[in-house]
Chain A
Amino acid sequence: MRDGIAQAMLRLAPLGLPRDAASSVELVLAEALNNTIEHALPRVTRKTQIEIRGDYKTGVLHLTIIDQGKPMPNGAVPTGPAPKLDVDMPNIPEGGFGWYMIHSLARKIEYMRVGNTNHLNLHFDIKP
């Protein structure tokens, strides 16, 4: 998983993305891949592949994550409500921030089920 993110970031390096954009991309990839491994591919012991495709055209980076796991519940990207923090300390959430972070950092997110694969399209605005 770390290797996958590192490889993807290495492939993006020639674009010379500004640091803020690069960190957003890395965070979104980490959260999206965590979700894939945890929810789409739970208890999968056979070898499976997650593909990341990338395409950059002036100012817009488009990444697609393709996996062979279970479809998203309801066939749609989960909404990501902001973590609820106005609560007593024992109730401060320890998770559930992943989709919130993805929604906050990517401009557009699309999900498609193609055959038995999941395609998650992520669009990023790259400001110079």
Chain B
Amino acid sequence: MELTSSKEPGLQIVTVQEQRIDASVALAFKDRMRQITEEGTEPVLLDLNHVQFIDSSGLGAIVAAMKNLGPDRRLILAGLTTTVEKVFRLTRMDSVFGVFSTVEEALAEMRA
């Protein structure tokens, strides 16, 4: 499970460099998210623009990652592709996370 991380002022951006977050990688995703975010304290923006498919296990792994950050550190999402967006909408999980169409839009909103 390849995740990459970059920093913006006041924000850590984690980009998923995979096409699928499904049952076969859900655990690896959770572990890697924990590792990659354990140093920082800033809110985390998860960039999903490379992800073409997510199932309920992948969705659960993102929820777990949000909880793992704790109550004082937000997880926001950007770059949801059509199918990923559909899964968030169906389960109404889009109401739990801040969801932005692009990283740029999320950054603009955070700075506003």
Contact = CB atoms under 8 A, between A and B. Distances in A.
A83 B93 CA distance: 9
Contacts of A20: 82, 86
Given A2-B20, A34-B57, A93 B63 contact: yes
B59 A97 contact: yes
B42 interface: no
Contact of B53 (A26, A98, A104): A26
Given A30-B55, A83-B91, A97-B91, A23 B83 contact: yes
A111 interface: no
Contacts of A101: 56, 87, 90-91
B35 interface: no
A77 interface: no
Interface of A is mostly: helix
Interface of B is mostly: helix
A101 to B, nearest CB: 6
Interface size range on A against B: 20 to 34
- With most chain A CB atoms within 10 A of its CB, the pick from B20, B24, B55, B63 is B55
Given A30-B22, A95-B56, A97-B56, A85 B90 contact: no
Interface in A79-97: 82-83, 85, 89-90, 92-97
Interface in B61-112: 61, 63-64, 66-67, 71, 82-83, 86-87, 90-93, 95-96
B18 to A, nearest CB: 12
Contact of A95 (B60, B67, B82): B60
B63 A92 contact: yes
A99 to B, nearest CB: 9
Nearest to A98: B56
Contact of A27 (B55, B64, B67, B92): B55
Interface of B: 20, 22-24, 53, 55-57, 59-61, 63-64, 66-67, 71, 82-83, 86-87, 90-93, 95-96
9 contacts: A1-B23, A1-B24, A19-B82, A23-B83, A26-B83, A27-B55, A85-B93, A90-B67, A92-B66
